[in-house]
């Protein structure tokens, strides 16, 4: 175990981070198991090494109801993520992985897409509160891959990417999905839509519909995304929009 409260440990870790930056060329940090030490300590490392980007892994359980399903309201879960960024310094480079969005998406794509509209009408994850500081993802080396600790439904992975790659937040693509699953071209298409239309971490999200079998949202008035098996949504798509990407139970205009 590392004693992060030990001043010598802090000093040597900061020196190592600055060596990684100056000599090796790293410009950002990922804080693994960030709930294992205080945000005050993380702030020391960030302030004294000045990365251009930093993201923390704060992985806690969602709130579950008596039926074993996640509650619709996950405010406490995303508040924990927001609190960490606040304490480290909201104006700096610190962000957190949006585990709230990941957990809700996992369940929503299994016929519960109504979950993607929170009680306030906004996105229910951290991206609904502080999208500039939310790093969205479908799976990572812990949740998916060989560890398989909280995997996204494997036959609906592209619905997850259609969501995060069109929505606010900073989306993160999982190596396995891109290189090993044969999804490179489909993911690339979504990335190019995001890039072409300038969708960014603070883009404006308007949720048009969120039912069991349909989620429909417009981003920055430029992109519309549909998740779910409902096919006939033409009456909900404004004139002038053309399909730019589509796949199993998703489409992007």
Other CB atoms closer than 10 Å to residue 159's CB: what's the count? 24
SS (H, E, C) 146-213: CCCCCCCCHHHHHHHHHHHCCCCCEEECCHHHHHHCCCHHHHHHHHHHHHHCCCCCCCCEEEEEECCC
Rounded distance, CA 60 to CA 2, Å?
Answer: 21
**Rounded to 5 degrees, what angle do the CA atoms 246, 249, 253 make?**
35
**Residue 57: active-site member:** yes
Q: Which residues contact 70 (CB under 8 A, 6 or more apart)?
A: 62, 63, 64, 103, 104, 107, 115
For residue 212, what are the CA distances in angstroms to 1, 209, 216, 227, 237?
46, 10, 11, 10, 19
The strand pairing partners of 251, in sequence order, are 226, 246
Strand partners, 224: 218
Containing 102, the helix (H) or strand (E) segment is helix 99-108
Catalytic residue among 57, 75, 142, 209: 57
Tokens of 153: 């439904």
Task: Choose the catalytic residue: 1, 3, 15, 32.
Answer: 32
Pairing of strands 28-31, 53-56: parallel
Q: Is 27 a catalytic site residue?
A: no
| Residues belonging to the active site | 32, 57
């Amino acid at each position: 175990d590392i004693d992060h409260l030990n001043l010598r440990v802090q000093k040597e870790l900061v020196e190592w981070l600055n060596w990684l930056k100056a000599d090796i060329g790293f410009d950002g940090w990922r804080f693994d198991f960030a709930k294992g030490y205080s945000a005050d300590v993380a702030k020391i490392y960030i302030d004294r090494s000045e990365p251009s980007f930093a993201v923390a892994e704060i992985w806690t359980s969602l709130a579950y109801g008596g039926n074993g399903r996640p509650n619709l309201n996950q405010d406490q879960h995303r508040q924990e993520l927001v609190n960490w960024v606040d304490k480290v310094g909201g104006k700096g480079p610190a962000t957190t992985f949006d585990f709230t969005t990941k957990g809700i998406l996992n369940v929503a794509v299994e016929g519960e897409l109504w979950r993607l509209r929170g009680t306030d009408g906004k996105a229910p994850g951290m991206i609904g509160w502080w999208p500039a500081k939310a790093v969205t993802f479908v799976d990572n080396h812990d949740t998916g891959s060989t560890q398989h600790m909280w995997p996204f439904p494997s036959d609906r992975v592209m619905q997850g990417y259609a969501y995060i790659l069109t929505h606010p937040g900073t989306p993160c693509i999982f190596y396995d999905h891109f290189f090993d699953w044969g999804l490179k071209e489909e993911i690339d298409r979504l990335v190019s839509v995001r890039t072409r239309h300038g969708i960014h971490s603070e883009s404006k999200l308007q949720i048009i519909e969120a039912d069991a079998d349909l989620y429909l949202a417009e981003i920055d008035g430029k992109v519309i995304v549909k998740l779910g098996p409902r096919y006939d949504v033409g009456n909900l798509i404004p004139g002038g929009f053309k399909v730019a990407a589509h796949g199993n139970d998703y489409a992007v205009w």
